[in-house]
Structure 1
Amino acid sequence: MEMNKQTGSETFLKRLSLNSFNKMQLEFMEKAKAEAPLMLLAPTGSGKTLAFLIPMIQHLEVNDSSALIIVPSRELALQIMEVFKSLKTNFHACICYGGHSMKTEENRLNEKPQVIIGTPGRLSEHVQKGNLNDINISLVVLDEFDKSLQFGFHEQLRVIFERLSHEQKYFLTSATILENIPDFLPFKDYEKVSFLKEGEVMTLLLQLVRTSSVEKIDTLMRLVADFGQESTLVFCNHRDAVDRISLLLTDFGFQHAVLHGGLEQIDREKNLIKFRSGTHQLLIATDLASRGLDIPEIKHVVHYQLPPKKDAFIHRNGRTARMMAEGQSYLVLAHEESLPDYVDNNLPEYELRQDFKVPEPSNLTCVYISVGKKNKISKGDVVGFFTKKGGLKGSDIGMISILDNATYVAVPTDKVDDLFANTDGEKLKKLKVKMEVAN
């Protein structure tokens, strides 16, 4: 790209194969041309990532410098990296998060990438080691900033902002209105683009499922069975509840995935891939899944345990009924449990069916391939391998997810055995690979 010349929005639309940006994105992009700190307030799933990435890129095109994007979770960091790559710029990006190789990150930071995406904990480590000292950061993005504060990252963020010159340009995003701005930020006043409407995310149908505490897990299982193969996300407050429910579902033969902070990073990524790709229709999770994750349209959100605060409840429900789509939410409540103040006392009650049938598993299977980004593998390479060597049609191949050292592909379950037989001993891009059903 030529320096001092901005790429126009229409170019990005072509790269993304989009007809237009939404109203919120257009308004933010216009206001982002000014120098004042800018806060974007919009609900989950409304397209905030594109809204700030495009003006960020345009800023970097006329400034020989770098941008720092701070996010509350590694999943969100990975998601932003994917969206950034889809914009097809010539800028280099580095991603930093716990569980990732520190040495790899240090090597990338030494190359002075134009875009740095990271979590507060890992970025504060790099600051303390001096790994950001020689990088000229001219723009800072605090994405899902309210979530970073909710997670208690104040001290890590303070360390990062002590390293900055305070002359940077700032973009902030949030799905809730912030009451106070922390003192480590070098400004108190900021411009706002607000697309939050009172009660907007509460328009989905909420229903109450009454049960006894002894039968609560059994009631949840019967409820989920009612949904059949429709995509369902069950929220718990604690990881031990997720694991307890998962054991019962496994015993009864329910196909499902789990997500919580106690899992290894590779398992978190793999379980999300299974849910996104439709190879699993049921995900049991903590609030880690309530914000900032690229999860497909979800038909049912179930609160097995109610969060103590309204904000968390709103964000959970924001996983469904997104962007005017239909969705339903359910509260599983034991008789001795009371509804919190933020929930209407006159909710309709959901009637569980008397019969019980474990849903059929998905007709898709998640296939693991032992090579990934570090082997320079692309989605086109995988499609070519599966069609030319594996005997599949292009229409048979579902979502392809390429990680650093592994690739996961959704394929029809009834074609997996033939795929493995046809590709046995064959090479993918001159590489000998291992393929198996993802565990």
Structure 2
Amino acid sequence: MAPQEPAVLAGSKRRLKDDSLARKRSKTRHKTADALPWKVVSRPVEAGMGGDDGILELEEVDDVEVVYEDTEGGRVVTFNVVNSERTPEDPAPESADEEVSDSDDVVPEVEPFDSIKLLPNWHSYSLHPQLLRILHAKGFLSPTPIQSAALPFAMSGRDVVGVAQTGSGKTLAYGLPILHRLLSCARPSSKSKRQLGALILAPTRELALQVSSHLNACLNAVEDADEVKSKKGKLAEVARAPPLVSVAAIVGGMSAQKQRRILDRGVDVLVATPGRLWDIMEDDDTLAKQVKNLQFLVLDEADRMIEAGHFAELENILRLTLRESKDDQIEPDAEDSEPVKDGLQTFVFSATLSKDLQRNVKRRSRPKTAGKYNKREKPASTLDDLLLRLDFRDPEPEIIDLSPQGGVVATLKESKIECLSTDKDAYLYYFLLRYPGRSLVFLSSIDGIRRLMPLTELLNIKAFPLHSQLEQRQRLKNLDRFKSTPNSVLLATDIAARGLDIPAVDHVIHYQIPRSADAYVHRNGRTARAMQKGFSMLMCSPDERRVVRALLGSLGRQESEIAEMGIELNLLDKLKERVLLARQIETTHHKIKKANHDRKWMQETAEALEVELDSDFVSDSDEEKPSNQKRKAKDLKNANLKAELKRLLAQPLVARGVSTRYITSGSRPIVDDLIAGAFNETMVGVKKTEAGNDLVVGKKKKAKVVVKTPEEEEWHGIEAA
């Protein structure tokens, strides 16, 4: 019996364990989902985590449709069973095309807002109380110049063409009249489908998503902290209430099927890029009919979209907005062939509306130089193209031009660095270490971004790419990371140049010169927004000086008007060694990666075609195996380069005249800066300052950097090419 005792004990233990598990399950079996301790968190839309294609959104299953609704209480998720059998008690679904009587429309009750006391500067525009409440909560106590100039005409039903500097609030200049009209109208019943009332077209996906986010922010309920606590746990009741105005974004790079379902439910305001919108409209006649019956049509950044050779889909969309004659049989010149008045209101906004600014300055042509530029002559405008392509219902649309002279905002400081093309990496590295902050680096090619990204990683610079060949989710994710990281770099092409409202961009760096003057103006517009300070820098190589002169000539300016940056040349020489090592490491990695990729491609292709590779290729592949001595030598050399770069990055950068032993001695004592906290963390002996304070003022061709010492003064010059 002794040998059986352990088995009996083990069996009893298992029974006790099963009983305890059963008791635990019985305790938790009857808990509902609402009883669990859920924690509500916010998800940023810019990171691709808040839209219908978000990373953290619910996955769809068979016969179940996930529906997202923006309500007064926030974002709500509901589930609709698609193919389930309906019980006799359930009412039959109504057709989307079934007309609903006007008696079903409900006029929402709105709490009054005392705009005379709280927002006296907005009172004269008679905006909807919901909009006034949001403006007050956001701290927008006064309208911007473009808003105060455009709102009186927009609220009265006039067509408006607005030109204003970047960051001046053009989105609300056309968004407030649209939302005011839609909020003031009767809300359709829940049984009827929403009819499209406003269409906003934008040239880039990021701009379209940003406009949609801003308009949705104007529709959110403003609640105090006590109200939020009291409503906690009552989300189910709020979920049943449909939003007052539905705003949706339709852009490429996201699920077209989900976007079609959003349109099938019906939206009031649609923000879209022309390409994706036309793709959906080709298979959706209902949407095309709704576009014909629009109340508002908006072209944001219109000069980019009507530029020759771009956005062919826009032409097809704009044709649907043309008015039809009363009788097509009558000749066009007849008096009775007046177009039908349908009440469409058109808004056109941009920062530039000049054909001269759109000219490609990199082409070999004879541009109009700054000396021959007559400021009294009005530059060629794209307004004529707008009149041809758009059917303004207003016989004379109101044109508001508040663009600054020369395309430069008053709060923006411009500078330039003249250097060789091979030294641009070192100068960029110096600038990022010398002036920390959020820096937006613009390049004209995607290959340039792909070359710079590995260098920034090796040099411990936080950089994020943004270009058209990235997936849309990755683009939004990188943009959100750049916004949330204080000292970071965004390497971007011109898709980030227009309309994006990125908070607190300290520097805009033109690593490669833009192709046109309007691109230069829009690039600079990413900083110095809303009357804040900003800084931009041109990195000009000798072969780009002609392009810079033509660029500034299109703006009616001269090259001498832009000051040069002051450079600590002794620190720059130390940084060049780091950059050179990083290039060598990246070149070695790129060669190995390319060789492996080509070899793998050849082998996979040979297997797919069922052919044998040539003996020479096989022998070359055997020689390049990791076990070969030649490969080991390359790996050892690459490891030595990495170790050397790591050693250099660990060494502090000490400016000339600073004692490395005693902070109180030397020709440049740093003890006062250390006590005051005004020291640069990466460069010892260099004061913490803004980039705009280190400009060299003057018309000399040499950017002189003065290193003050008691014994001598050394002048270092950068020779202009």
What's the TM-score once normalised by structure 1's chain length? 0.75
Structure 2 distance, partners of 1:348, 1:26, is 35
Matched, 1:117 2:271: yes
Structure 1 distance, partners of 2:248, 2:295, is 16
Matched, 1:87 2:218: yes
Q: Would the alpha carbon gap of residues 20 and 349 (structure 1) be closer, same or farther in structure 2, given more than 3 Å must change?
A: closer
Aligned residue for 1:185?
Answer: 390
Moved more, 189-198 or 246-255: 189-198
List per-residue Cα deviations over 1:133-165 (Å, max 9, x = no partner).
353422111111112224844421111122235
List per-residue Cα deviations over 1:223-248 (Å, max 9, x = no partner).
22221x22211111111111211121
Matched, 1:34 2:248: no
Moved more, 124-133 or 254-263: 124-133
Matched, 1:7 2:134: no
Per-residue deviation at 1:63? 5.4
Q: Would the alpha carbon gap of residues 327 and 33 (structure 1) be closer, same or farther in structure 2, given more than 3 Å must change?
A: closer
Aligned residue for 1:415?
Answer: none
Aligned residue for 2:81?
Answer: none
Matched, 1:355 2:566: no
The unaligned stretches of length 5 or more in structure 2 are 1-105, 111-126, 187-194, 221-243, 324-341, 354-380, 553-557, 576-721
Q: Which has the higher contact order (CA 8 A, sep 6+)?
A: 1
Aligned residue for 1:129?
Answer: 283
Aligned residue for 1:176?
Answer: 352
What percentage of aligned pairs have identical amino acids?
31
Q: What letter is aligned with 2:404?
A: K
Matched, 1:97 2:257: no
Per-residue deviation at 1:119? 0.2
Aligned residue for 2:234?
Answer: none
* Structure 1 residues 369-384: aligned runs within 5 Å: none
* Structure 1 residues 362-401: aligned runs within 5 Å: none
Q: Which of the pair is proportionally richer in helix?
A: 2
Per-residue deviation at 1:11? 3.3
RMSD, matched Cα: 2.5
Contact 2:210 2:500 in 1 (8 A): yes
Per-residue deviation at 1:96? 0.6
Structure 1 distance, partners of 2:565, 2:139, is 41
Matched, 1:18 2:140: yes
Q: What letter is aligned with 1:316?
A: R
Aligned residue for 1:333?
Answer: 540
Structure 1 distance, partners of 2:185, 2:315, is 26
Per-residue deviation at 1:87? 1.1
Q: Would the alpha carbon gap of residues 27 and 3 (structure 1) be closer, same or farther in structure 2, given more than 3 Å must change?
A: farther
Per-residue deviation at 1:317? 1.4
Structure 2 distance, partners of 1:216, 1:334, is 8
* Structure 1 residues 154-169: aligned runs within 5 Å: 154-164=311-321, 166=323, 167=342, 168-169=344-345
Contact 1:274 1:280 in 2 (8 A): no
Per-residue deviation at 1:88? 1.6
Contact 2:161 2:349 in 1 (8 A): yes
Structure 1 distance, partners of 2:390, 2:109, is 29
Structure 2 distance, partners of 1:321, 1:93, is 29
Aligned residue for 1:375?
Answer: none
Contact 1:235 1:301 in 2 (8 A): yes
Q: Would the alpha carbon gap of residues 15 and 152 (structure 1) be closer, same or farther in structure 2, given more than 3 Å must change?
A: farther
* Structure 1 residues 401-416: aligned runs within 5 Å: none
* Structure 1 residues 197-276: aligned runs within 5 Å: 197-199=404-406, 201=408, 203=410, 204-227=412-435, 229-276=436-483
3-state SS, counterpart of residue 322 of structure 1: coil
Structure 1 distance, partners of 2:528, 2:157, is 35
Contact 1:2 1:61 in 2 (8 A): no
Q: Would the alpha carbon gap of residues 225 and 7 (structure 1) be closer, same or farther in structure 2, given more than 3 Å must change?
A: same
Structure 1 distance, partners of 2:489, 2:264, is 42
Q: Would the alpha carbon gap of residues 38 and 202 (structure 1) be closer, same or farther in structure 2, given more than 3 Å must change?
A: closer
List per-residue Cα deviations over 1:144-195 (Å, max 9, x = no partner).
1112224844421111122235442111111112423243311384212222
List per-residue Cα deviations over 1:307-366 (Å, max 9, x = no partner).
1211111111122223332222211122333133233322332232232699xxxxxxxx
Moved more, 307-316 or 157-166: 157-166
Aligned residues: 357
Structure 2 distance, partners of 1:318, 1:157, is 25
Contact 2:437 2:487 in 1 (8 A): no
3-state SS, counterpart of residue 84 of structure 1: helix
Per-residue deviation at 1:85? 1.3
Structure 2 distance, partners of 1:211, 1:153, is 34
Q: Would the alpha carbon gap of residues 280 and 265 (structure 1) be closer, same or farther in structure 2, given more than 3 Å must change?
A: farther
Structure 1 distance, partners of 2:423, 2:571, is 16
Aligned residue for 2:167?
Answer: 45
Structure 2 distance, partners of 1:261, 1:202, is 28
Contact 1:91 1:114 in 2 (8 A): yes
The unaligned stretches of length 5 or more in structure 1 are 359-439
Q: Would the alpha carbon gap of residues 153 and 336 (structure 1) be closer, same or farther in structure 2, given more than 3 Å must change?
A: closer
Contact 1:237 1:306 in 2 (8 A): yes
Per-residue deviation at 1:41? 1.2
Contact 2:322 2:391 in 1 (8 A): no
Per-residue deviation at 1:73? 1.0
Q: Which of the pair is proportionally richer in strand?
A: 1
Structure 1 distance, partners of 2:160, 2:544, is 42
Structure 1 distance, partners of 2:274, 2:204, is 9
3-state SS, counterpart of residue 44 of structure 1: coil
Q: What letter is aligned with 1:335?
A: P
Aligned residue for 1:290?
Answer: 497
Structure 2 distance, partners of 1:172, 1:83, is 18
User: Which of the residues 508, 517, 526 maps onto 1:310?
Assistant: 517
